[in-house]
A and B are shown apart, each in its own frame.
Chain A
Amino acid sequence: QSALTQPRSVSGSPGQSVTISCTGTSSDVGGYNYVSWYQQHPGKAPKLMIYDVSKRPSGVPDRFSGSKSGNTASLTISGLQAEDEADYYCCSYAGSYTPWVFGGGTKLTVL
């Protein structure tokens, strides 16, 4: 069982928006502004999409955005495209005892 809770799957049609939630506790998501999101296509390594809750690395489309409220972080993908179909994982810093925890992953299907 993963430390952070994500929905197992979400779906949307091209052009629509979807939001993926990531729920933790006050010891991880709620305690630090250090949530990151990773996209993983089948057979590939994860790719950083969002860091520090809402910052986008260079090269990541602005269709991807992140936010946080309390112990829940969210990744929103607007203007869905076929190539967005992938697994998405959230990750949070959780303090010096167990520094990083991941979510269980969410499979995004573009209908």
Chain B
Amino acid sequence: QVTLRESGPALVKPTQTLTLTCTFSGFSLSTSGMCVSWIRQPPGKALEWLARIDWDDDKYYSTSLKTRLTISKDTSKNQVVLTMTNMDPVDTATYYCARTNHGGYYFDYWGQGTLVTVSS
């Protein structure tokens, strides 16, 4: 059974760095073709893809947020970590992690999401 769960602070101050952790089970990020992405959704708004890390440690970032994002993985802990620097109130959103299998182009399993509010 594949599951993903996001964790991190519910509240961060403007200019701070956000660190989110995706802990997953039911698959391994050392398996060829496995990938994990981060996707966010501001309240009442659309989904926005942020970043992806692949089994072979290839990394991809949203062009508009590339300078602020870092994605990494700890295969032994079944975790993927996303850091986002210089947080702003417009970054207030529910952050999801999601799996891609077989090196595909879709997200077949999602975590339940974690709401991050940016406010002083």
Residues of A within 8 A of B (CB): 2, 32, 34, 36, 38, 44-48, 51-52, 57, 89, 91, 93, 96-105
Contact A45 B96 (CB under 8 A): yes
Task: Name the A residues within 8 Å of B9 (CB-CB).
Answer: none
Contact A32 B60 (CB under 8 A): no
Give how many B residues have a beta carbon under 8 Å from the other chain's beta carbons: 21
A45 to B4, CA, bound (A): 11
Given A45-B112, A46-B96, A99-B60, does the pair A105, B47 have CB atoms closer than 8 Å?
A: yes
Question: Which residue in B48, B62, B106 is a CB contact (below 8 Å) of A34?
Answer: B106
Contact B46 A52 (CB under 8 A): no
20 A-B pairs with C-beta separation under 8 A: A36-B105, A36-B106, A38-B47, A38-B107, A45-B96, A46-B107, A48-B108, A52-B105, A52-B106, A57-B108, A89-B46, A89-B47, A91-B49, A93-B105, A97-B63, A98-B62, A99-B49, A102-B46, A102-B49, A105-B46
